[in-house]
Amino acid sequence: MPEFNTQLILRIDWSEMDLFGHVNNVSFFKYVQAARVNYWELTGLNELYKTSNIGPTLAAVNCQFKKSLHYPGSVTIQTKVDWIKNSSLQISHQILNDKNEVAAEGQDVIVMFDYNKNEKVAIPDAIRSVIEKREGKGF
């Protein structure tokens, strides 16, 4: 299995707890969102959007819950790109608990979108190159 080259550490907040004493499932999606946006920032996707109004949009998100999370604590979200096609890519995430155990696994499908023309577009070669360098492989 390819390595996860990107990590984000977040503190679990008490407000994320539910009636059953563990982190609510909605918070898992917030952790994945934070990791996704972090990846976009690291690869230039956010900057591309700011300068051209062309950027990523979320087409699908999925999460499989493996273990409960509890306050107090933190989570480490590991992120990697699984594949890149012409206008889309898939990012996978692992959410690890304080014991470095997998608490959840998630996947995002991202589509490059031209917000000026309201249509999907090819992933720019410069962005693809940055992702390939970060991931240590070609797509």
- For 49-97, what is each residue's pLDDT tens digit? 999 999 999 999 999 999 999 999 999 999 999 999 999 999 999 999 9
- What CA–CA distance (Å, rounded) separates 38 from 50? 15
Contact 119, 113 (CB under 8 A): yes
Rounded to 5°, angle at Cα 74 from 100 and 71 = 115
Residues of the chain above pLDDT 70, percent? 99
What rounded mean pLDDT belongs to the chain? 96
First to last CA, the chain: 16
Note the maximum CA span of the chain.
Answer: 47
6-135, which class in CATH? alpha beta
User: Does residue 1 carry a pLDDT above 80?
Assistant: no
Could you tell me where the beta strands, DSSP code E, fall in the chain?
A: 6-11, 54-65, 74-84, 88-96, 102-114, 119-120
Q: What is the pLDDT of residue 2?
A: 53
